[in-house]
Amino acid sequence: MTLSTSILLIIALAPLAGCLLAGFLGKAIGRAGAHGATILGVAVSCALSFWVLYQLVWGGAPVYNQNVYTWFEIGRFSASVGFLVDRLTAMMMVVVTFVSLLVHVYTIGYMADDDGYQRFFSYISLFTFSMLMLVMSNNFMQLFFGWEAVGLVSYLLIGFWYKRPTAIFANLKAFLVNRVGDFGFLLGIAAVLYFLGTLDYGTAFASAGSLVGRTLQVTQNTHWDAATVICVLLFIGAMGKSAQVPLHVWLPDSMEGPTPISALIHAATMVTAGIFMVARMSPLYELSDGALSFVMVIGATGALFTGLIGIVQNDIKRVVAYSTLSQLGYMTVALGVSAYAGAVFHLMTHAFFKALLFLGAGSVIIAMHHEQDMRYMGGLRKYMPVTWITMWIGSLALVAIPFTSGFYSKDAIIEAVGASHRWGSGYAYFCVLAGAFVTALYTFRQMYLTFHGKERFVVVHDHGHGRHAHDHAHGHAAAHGHGGADAAVSPEEHPSDEPGHGEPGVLHHPPKESPWVVTLPLVLLAIPSLLVGFLTVGPVLFGGWFGQAVRVEEANDVLGELAREFHGATAMALHGFWSLPFGLVVLAFAITTYIYLFNPALAGRIKRALKPLYVVLDRKYWFDTVYFAVFARGGVALGRALWKGGDAAVIDGALVNGSAGLVERIAAGMRRLQSGYLYHYAVAMILGLVLLLGGYWLIGQNGQ
């Protein structure tokens, strides 16, 4: 059976139809109509995506690669809208639509009181359409369209609460940082067209071998390898979209958007677009060891050092955000050691448990009346049992406890890096090992501060005499934002950083479990967070499941080496209990359990003893400071200098105003010659004739 073009068009366009209905007819159809239309569109897309995956894996359907519409033609070059649907694409389609569907349902409860209800549903449905166009494309031009579309929708969603200055700052920051990456990405696409003469995936990959030995002349004596140039430029685009160091600074601030956005865009789908793109371009990347080493080192740096920042965060969403940065680093490291299947496998498992953690954090935020500082929480497990259990499942998957989905994908990446001999693999192996310990530290700390220990909030029933308490609680909500926090509250704003020693948060009602539209997505995400890795690790990682969608040179096939030691999912998990990464997780568990359950005062003493390190992490290595001082203020200063010294003085002053003044002065002089007297004109004519004859005579003399 072959895949139908009409089915694929429905998958891509159904979310767009829901977006248009909710966006343009939102007031007419109301809230129920808006979420009904968008959920129906995404549900149809999700169901058909599962059907496509079934047909490719079990139905014997061949890979679909066809153009469905000619966009434009310029000479010999044409751009088309088309679909390439293989197993890699089908898996991404399922992940995008499934997570998106659950986020849509969750949003009904989370955004129930928001005035922009219909607009929000329109945006998230538009995002789903954009992401599908990206992953289903069969050419670089359509890929770039989807790439920019998800960036645009991300900008709209981060700044969804546009009346809040911090939200506007955050979405502008995301937009500008991604433009830096997208500039490199566009140059990479141009380089593909220059060297290979096509933007079609199939044609480009088939002729990729022609890049061997070809160079790009930069200066008279400098030549760069063509494949390396293409791959590095394309990866710069991935660095922006997938938040890799040093273009990672936008993602933590994107928490200013509502929590469903954090789960949908900044954990499960959009930030993984760069990972998907590099895996799709594996035929090109396999031609350049230099580019792959660059990818690996960047990913390893992010895996460890952005994770370290998560240890000092107190905002519940920010901890998960820095966890996302770290896990994206793991995926990038896998790409760098040619373990493309491992990177995409971790992309899939991470989508489930990270969306679960973000939505679980949103459930906590709802219960805490939009308080997001974990130092004002504690003891929530008895109030929110479903959220507590599901978030523990997501946390165990994140720290890679054997038998969870996160274990199978993350442990395979660590082992693949250890088996690699590529330049930089030693550094990368240290980073991913240390990252396992760091991940466990901030994850268990988050769970203990949120759900365990004593309650660090008070419930004040306001019966007309609790105005101070009401204002106090409102101040907390305002400081942290409705569903999107600013940076974690600085230590100076609290009497102490120790749990239980700060001023308690004030609530007007006891925390309670979230409604079913919030908890049902948590349960449905918890299931694959536990099981999908166990069920799929064999074929996906070691069975060549992706086929020709992912190409690896035999000398680079580290997963092939690991496959010889793979004896089933159960044996792999049992062996994992004796591995070094699991030992580091157990050590982190023991440390955090002792500190946050038995000796909370120790946290403050450790912070004071390690204050220089704490300051470095709290300031996020001063990336934001440097970028703001050098690039933001420097750019403004340069612009003003160019305006005053160039535009105002030269262009406006000399060229525009100067030429206008010169014309005016010449015209004023000419006006004096227009006296209106006939004899003046006669004299002028005689003088002109004399000059003309004299000039003619001189020319004749010179000619002789």
pTM for this entry: 0.87
Q: Average pLDDT of 38-48? A: 96
Structural domain contains residue 43: no
Burial class of residue 639 (count of CB atoms within 10 Å of its CB; 0-12, 13-18, 19+): exposed
698, 558: one domain: no
C-alpha angle with apex 589: 559 to 594, nearest 5 degrees?
A: 170
Q: In whole angstroms, give the CA distance from residue 644 to residue 604.
A: 52
Least confident of 69-78, 222-231, 578-587: 69-78
Q: Is 676 left (phi over 0), alpha (psi -120 to 50) or beta?
A: left
Burial class of residue 396 (count of CB atoms within 10 Å of its CB; 0-12, 13-18, 19+): buried
Q: How confident is the model at residue 469 (pLDDT cuts 50, 70, 90)?
A: very low
The pLDDT value given to residue 265:
78
The pLDDT value given to residue 145:
94
Tell whether the model's pLDDT for residue 623 goes beyond 80.
yes
404, 290: one domain: yes
Q: How confident is the model at residue 259 (pLDDT cuts 50, 70, 90)?
A: confident
Domain C-terminal end among 577, 598, 619: 598
Structural domain contains residue 38: no
Q: Please, how many CA atoms are within 13 Å of residue 433, restricted to the half-sphere of its CB?
A: 13
Structural domain contains residue 321: yes
The token pair that represents 446 in the structure block: 């988050």
Higher pLDDT, 235 or 663: 235
Least confident of 262-276, 334-348, 363-377: 262-276
Beta-ladder partners of 81: 69
Domain C-terminal end among 563, 581, 598: 598
Q: Please, how many CA atoms are within 13 Å of residue 139, restricted to the half-sphere of its CB?
A: 23
Structural domain contains residue 670: no
573, 407 contact by CB (below 8 A) = yes
Q: In whole angstroms, give the CA distance from residue 300 to residue 286.
A: 19
The overall average pLDDT reported for the chain is 87
The pLDDT value given to residue 464:
44
151, 273: one domain: yes
585, 694: one domain: no
Q: In whole angstroms, give the CA distance from residue 27 to residue 487.
A: 35
The pLDDT value given to residue 493:
36
Tell whether the model's pLDDT for residue 697 goes beyond 80.
no
The token pair that represents 489 in the structure block: 């509250």
**What 3-state class would DSSP assign to 681?**
helix
Distances (CA, A) of 97 to 17, 50, 107, 198, 244: 15, 9, 15, 30, 25
The total of other beta-carbon atoms located within 10 Å of residue 585's CB is: 25
The pLDDT value given to residue 693:
83
Q: How confident is the model at residue 181 (pLDDT cuts 50, 70, 90)?
A: very high
Tell whether the model's pLDDT for residue 267 goes beyond 80.
no
Return the amino acid letter for 206. A
Cα–Cα nearest to 49, from 20, 22, 14: 14
Structural domain contains residue 177: yes
3-state per-residue secondary structure call for 165-222? HHHHHHHHHHHHHHHHHHHHHHHHHHHHHHHHCCCEHHHHHHCHHHHCCCEEEEECCE
Return the amino acid letter for 257. G
Domain C-terminal end among 598, 629, 660: 598
The pLDDT value given to residue 440:
97
The pLDDT value given to residue 106:
93
577, 691: one domain: no
Least confident of 318-322, 357-361, 681-685: 681-685
**What 3-state class would DSSP assign to 442?**
helix
Structural domain contains residue 319: yes
Strands 222-225 and 215-219: antiparallel
549 DSSP 8-state letter: G
| Cβ contacts of 187-194, under 8 Å, gap ≥ 24 | 187/233, 188/230, 188/231, 188/232, 188/233, 188/234, 188/235, 188/236, 188/237, 189/140, 189/141, 189/144, 189/234, 191/216, 191/226, 191/229, 191/230, 191/233, 192/140, 192/230, 192/284, 193/77, 193/140
Cα–Cα nearest to 352, from 260, 243, 268: 268
Supply the range of the domain harboring residue 173: 80-91+135-455+507-598
Phi then psi dihedrals of residue 73, to 5 deg: -130, 130
565, 686: one domain: no
Structural domain contains residue 363: yes
Sign of the CA dihedral 433, 241, 23, 170?
positive
Distances (CA, A) of 137 to 19, 202, 618: 20, 11, 41
Cα–Cα nearest to 517, from 110, 117, 106: 106
The total of other beta-carbon atoms located within 10 Å of residue 24's CB is: 12
Q: Average pLDDT of 227-246? A: 94
The token pair that represents 390 in the structure block: 């599901």
Return the percentage of the chain with pLDDT > 70, whole number: 90
Q: Average pLDDT of 46-64? A: 94
Distances (CA, A) of 409 to 29, 334, 341: 44, 10, 10
The token pair that represents 416 in the structure block: 């693949």
The token pair that represents 160 in the structure block: 């969804």
Q: In whole angstroms, give the CA distance from residue 153 to residue 417.
A: 35
Q: 640 Cβ partners below 8 Å, 6+ apart? A: none
Structural domain contains residue 74: no
Q: Average pLDDT of 498-519? A: 74
User: How far is Cα of residue 631 from the mean position of the Cα atoms in its chain?
Assistant: 21
Look at the chain and report how many structural domains it folds into: 2
The pLDDT value given to residue 655:
67
